[in-house]
Amino acid sequence: MAGIATLRANMNATIDATITAISPVRDVTTMRGPSRVADATLKDDTGSITLTLWGDDTAKYTVGQKVRITDGWVKDYKGKLQLSMGRSGKIQIQP
């Protein structure tokens, strides 16, 4: 399994990390209509990355939880790497 430091833009990623921060939820309008979005900071032994949470996912997770991201999508947003679930990504809370 890859560490956060090895992630590059435009690749799929499977990582284990801990949520260290979650931004306040904000309302946005997308091409699909209104939605809610929040940014979670994920950290592992190699680094940190922002995970974008959409819709119901904005309320599912808390700081301190260990999660496994499976098949997430890494993108470059304003010069910083971000992780999103894309079409097939999944988040699982780890024990």
Place of tokens 């995970």: 51
Which domains are assigned to the chain? 4-94 (2.40.50.140)
Residues of the chain under the 70 pLDDT cut = none
3-state secondary structure of 16: strand
Per-residue pLDDT reduced to its tens digit, 5-22: 999 999 999 999 999 999
Question: Which pLDDT score is estimated for 43?
Answer: 98
Question: Which pLDDT score is estimated for 2?
Answer: 76
d(CA 32, CA 4): 30
Q: Is the Cβ–Cβ distance between 70 and 88 less than 8 Å?
A: no
Does the global pTM surpass 0.85?
yes
Question: Which pLDDT score is estimated for 86?
Answer: 81
Say how many CA atoms lie within 13 Å of 13 toward its Cβ. 28
Question: Which pLDDT score is estimated for 1?
Answer: 72
